[in-house]
Amino acid sequence: MKKRPAQKKGKPMQQDRIEPATTESVPATNPTRTRGAAPAPGDGAAETPAPRRRGSSHVPQTAESLAKRQREISVSEFFAKNRHLLGFDNPKRALMTAVKEAVDNSLDACEEAGTLPEILVEIRMINEERFRMIVEDNGPGIVKAQVPKIFGKLLYGSKFHTMKQSRGQQGIGISAAGLYAQITTGQPVAITTRTGAKKPAYTCELHLDTTKNQAEIQSEKDLDTWHRDHGTRVEIEFEGKYEKGRRSVDEYIRETAIANPHVTITYINPLGEKTVYLRQVQSNPEPPKEIKPHPYGVELGTLMKMMRSTEEKKMQGFLCNDFSRVSGGVAHEILEKAGLTPNTWVQSIGTKEAEALYKAINATKIMAPPTNCISPIGEDRILAGLKATVRAKCYVATTRRPSVYRGNPFLLEAAIAWDCEGMDSEDPVTLFRYANRVPLLYQQSACAITQAAVDTSWKNYGLSQPRGSLPIGPAVVFIHFASVWVPFTSESKDAIANYPEVEKEIKLALQDVGRKIGTFIRQQEHAEREAKRRQIFEKYAAILANSLARITHKGQIRKAHEKSIASKASKINYWLQKIAKRESAAADKLVKGAMVEVHEDVHVVEGAAAAPEAAPAPAKPADGTKARKGSDK
């Protein structure tokens, strides 16, 4: 048996002692209850606090004391503690996200005003960890009363409740950038805006009160003169990290210029390097039209909310006037399946009736929503943007017909720039992802666009593809998703959710451009094989010509005949090379980069670099013999 450790004299062993609760804190209990028995109903045992150990600082809480600590959490406070949800989780990404939000707002404002956008993006380095971002545009400007709400209030905007394509949707972006600046540097957001040449410019500095989710203006004044007749300038100072590379501000500006060829962007990076992306087309894209919600895109709770807020009195008018694609006949069919009449009062609809109406809507065949709420880039504009930014040998593009997911219209566009300059043929293709013309640089693996590109069988189009990855080749793959409501996976708007309808359309768009580029790749490979065969033939043509000249010589070959044989061999060599050039003329054109009949939508760049060299013109025979037209004998 183990002996118990001896206890030192004068220091008795301390034991935890439990203090009995006082009579004031413990309610009276049933004296008749015995030890171990279950508490009787209503005897107050559930309200008895647990015995408190001596020295413990924990004080048991009551419902009343807990209620006093409850308070409302503003959206600003929530995002201040969870800024990673908005794309401000690290300094490098924070710099890119702030620029993205400001540029997106500028592009939307210019396009809605019908102005060709001219945007200045400048990033000044205060020190290695602090930067000052300046974004200036020539848009319509902002009304003075709206400036504090736009830049100092989260979840405030004009696009959340509209059913049309736009870059911004949630009303968070630019105010979140100001909130991040306030957290990291304590500096206010500086705004200067002007709405017309005959009106004064307005400038102010503001902070964001996170408790009230409101702006606090620190200073403001009117300016009689400003260098722009109309437009807005935003300056924000915050912590960040500048690096060049795939997920940098430089790359974001470059990809923005590709998808928005109607924009002129002047970009000055923290190193003072200035880059100007000139507009490639001289008109804005067709503006999208706002539509009403489609019945298939409305859930039960939303349907009940719409019925509570509608101005229509009867159900027939509610269905026809508050939804798109619902005619009188379709509304009558829906109401009949739901067990209602056209004259049923909207306010009399209860939960059971609303549920029956919701099921009837989904059981009725309704025309797809109108697609004029979407504004695609267009094949010609995509090609113009790619050609101005990505130097390649061949370009293809396609725009799919609109489709629908959950009642929301959407459209896919895809393009490929093949044989790009500076790209390794052993590396995976570069994937450009866009949502409503905005580049998506982060969370590539979590995006439906990437998954669809990986699932596409690129081997059918002449590209090698390892299992479970993107294809291999010196190419840029461009994919644009346009919709009235983009199903982002998070508030940072970096990846698109995996809806089956969306993935299907992405794959179909990629297969379309894959077939086009596959035709060119196969002809290019054929041309390279022909060029190699011609080079081998030319290498031995002189030897063959000399042998043929000797074989065809009549009589014994003497030293005096060598000159005649050499002249004859020169003629034979000339005609052999001429025949070889005629047979490989198509290959020569394709190798040089000249336009070849590949596909009507394949754009081959004139004079692009090629691996094998084209055949030189054959030298004329030494005796000056001229070639006869139509004769290769």
pLDDT in tens, 295-331: 988 889 989 999 999 999 999 999 999 999 999 999 9
| Least confident segment among 498-502, 519-523, 560-564, 604-608 | 604-608
Q: What pLDDT, on a 0 to 100 scale, did the predictor assign at position 546?
A: 77
Instruction: Give the mean model confidence (pLDDT) for residues 570-588.
Output: 74
* Nearest residue to 479 via CA among 510, 443, 454, 502: 510
% pLDDT > 90, the chain: 46
pLDDT digits (tens, 9 = 90+) for 151-160: 887 766 555 5
Contact 592, 600 (CB under 8 A): no
Rounded to 10 degrees, the C-alpha dihedral 274/277/278/284 comes to -140
Residue 221: pLDDT over 60: yes
Which pLDDT belongs to residue 281?
93
| Terminal Cα-to-Cα distance of the chain (whole angstroms) | 116
Least confidently predicted of 40-54, 60-74, 326-340, 503-517: 40-54
pLDDT of residue 613: 43
Q: Which of 452-456, 497-501, 613-617 has the lowest mean pLDDT?
A: 613-617
Domain 379-518 has CATH 3.40.50.2300: no
Cβ-defined contacts of 80-88 (< 8 Å, 24+):
80/179, 80/183, 80/210, 83/176, 83/179, 83/180, 83/183, 84/492, 85/490, 85/491, 85/492, 86/172, 86/173, 86/176, 86/180, 86/491, 86/492, 87/442, 87/492, 87/493, 87/494, 88/176, 88/180
- For residues 455 and 471, the answer to whether their CB atoms sit within 8 Å is no
For 78-277, the fitting CATH number among 3.30.540.10, 3.40.50.11060, 3.30.70.100, 3.30.565.10 is 3.30.565.10
Mean pLDDT rounded to a whole number for the chain: 81
Structure confidence at residue 569 (pLDDT) = 80
Q: What is the pLDDT of residues 148-204, one digit of tens each?
A: 888 887 766 555 567 788 886 665 768 888 888 888 898 999 999 999 999 999 999
Nearest to 238 by CA among 310, 288, 183: 183
- Higher-confidence residue of 556 and 462: namely 462
- The fold adopted by the segment(s) 295-362 is Helicase, Ruva Protein; domain 3 (1.10.8)
**Residue 207 scores a pLDDT above 60:** yes
Taking only the tens place, the pLDDT of each residue in 377-414 is: 999 999 999 999 999 988 999 999 998 888 889 999 99
- pLDDT per residue over 109-123, tens digit each? 999 999 999 999 999
> 537: helix, coil or strand?
helix
* pLDDT of the residue at 628: 44
Give the span between the Cα atoms of 189 and 228, in whole angstroms. 20
Judge whether residue 608 has pLDDT over 50. no
In this predicted structure, the answer to whether residue 467 has a pLDDT above a threshold of 70 is yes
What integer is the mean pLDDT of 131-135? 95
Instruction: Say whether pLDDT at 94 is over 50.
Output: yes
What's the confidence (pLDDT) of residue 18? 45
